[in-house]
């Protein structure tokens, strides 16, 4: 496929690299105004440009990874140069209806909410689209299934998906950082602590994904009665571990809805 990514920042680059890795047959273009920081991507076969409209007429899918306040400028710039293109927008907080109004004519619009693990084909990407754009939506789902797991959701859950899936990367990394800090305190050097904490989190996630059972059932396999795991877990709960996470996620959602 020919994929044109507008907004070569954190997310745009992660998607571009992920797509370039999964199939060398894809032609990927990524744009931003100041390309100095992403010129290295051309070594992966990715076309890097500061021109949003160069070759855009050849794109199968246009992916928007710009900030919400940049959308009008970008849409007004590209609209005269495209007809009937799939536009997949990762721009948070901008609805399908608003995007459809801004793009005026009959471009199929799809909303996507990936995360930066797309770079390693491990994104949880939530996707929504209207019934009339089902065909385009399914193409985008298929594309993002190559970058991890693509999940079709109702649009009203897009803000929640942003928090749980996209912001969730930061929450999970903070868990890993805290484990690493504890690991150093109990005797490991930083690199070893990071390796153990990261792989353990990855292993736990893999079990939850593969076995599709409640995490507590997996926890039961690790907790010996009167053992060291359960006393540690209970102490974490006494200190508000689950509560802190739940409250943090709900606070992020309140912020996104402001």
Ligand X SMILES: NC(=O)c1ccc[n+]([C@@H]2O[C@H](COP(=O)([O-])OP(=O)(O)OC[C@H]3O[C@@H](n4cnc5c(N)ncnc54)[C@H](OP(=O)(O)O)[C@@H]3O)[C@@H](O)[C@H]2O)c1
Positions touching ligand X (CB under 6 A) are 6-12, 31-34, 52, 65-68, 70, 73-74, 90-92, 113-116, 166
CA atoms of 159 and 133, how far apart (whole Å): 21
- Measured from the CB atom, the residue of 63 and 193 that comes closer to ligand X is 63
Least separation in angstroms between residue 239's CB and ligand X is 28
Annotated binding-site residue? 8: yes
What are 84's two structure tokens?
A: 């009937």
Tell me if 11 is assigned to a ligand binding site: yes
- Is 240 annotated in a binding site? The answer is no
Name the closest residue to ligand X (Cβ).
Answer: 9
Instruction: Tell the smallest beta-carbon distance from residue 228 to ligand X (Å).
Output: 36
Q: How far is the CB of 185 from ligand X (least distance, A)?
A: 30
The least CB distance from residue 19 to ligand X, in Å, is 15
Nearer to ligand X, 115 or 139 (CB): 115
Q: Which is nearer to ligand X, 56 or 113 (CB)?
A: 113
Tell whether residue 45 is among the known ligand binding residues: no
Residue 12, annotated ligand binder? no
Closer Cβ to ligand X, 11 or 150, answer by number? 11
Binding-site residues from annotation for NADPH = 52
């Amino acid at each position: 496929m020919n994929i044109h990514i507008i907004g070569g920042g954190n997310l745009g680059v992660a998607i571009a690299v992920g797509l370039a890795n999964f199939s060398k047959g894809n032609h990927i273009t990524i744009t931003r105004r100041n390309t100095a920081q992403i010129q290295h991507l051309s070594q992966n076969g990715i076309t890097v440009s500061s021109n949003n409209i160069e070759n855009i007429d050849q794109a199968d899918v246009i992916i928007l990874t710009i900030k919400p306040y940049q959308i009008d400028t970008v849409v007004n710039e590209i609209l005269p140069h495209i007809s009937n293109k799939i536009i997949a927008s990762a721009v948070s907080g901008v609805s399908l209806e608003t995007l459809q109004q801004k793009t005026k004519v009959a471009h199929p619009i799809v909303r996507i909410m990936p995360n930066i693990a797309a770079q390693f084909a491990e994104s949880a990407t939530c996707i929504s689209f209207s019934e009339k754009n089902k065909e385009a939506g399914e193409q985008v789902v298929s594309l993002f299934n190559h970058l991890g797991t693509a999940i079709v959701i109702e649009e009203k859950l897009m803000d929640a998906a942003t928090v749980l899936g996209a912001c969730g990367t930061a929450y999970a990394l903070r868990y890993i950082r805290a484990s690493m800090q504890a690991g150093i305190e109990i005797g490991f050097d930083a690199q070893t602590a990071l390796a153990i904490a990261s792989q353990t989190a990855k292993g736990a996630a893999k079990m939850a994904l593969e076995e599709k059972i409640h995490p507590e059932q997996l926890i039961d396999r690790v907790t010996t009665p009167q053992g060291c795991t359960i006393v540690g877990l209970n102490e974490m709960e006494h200190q508000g571990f689950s509560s802190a996470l739940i409250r943090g996620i709900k606070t992020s959602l309140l912020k996104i809805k402001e």
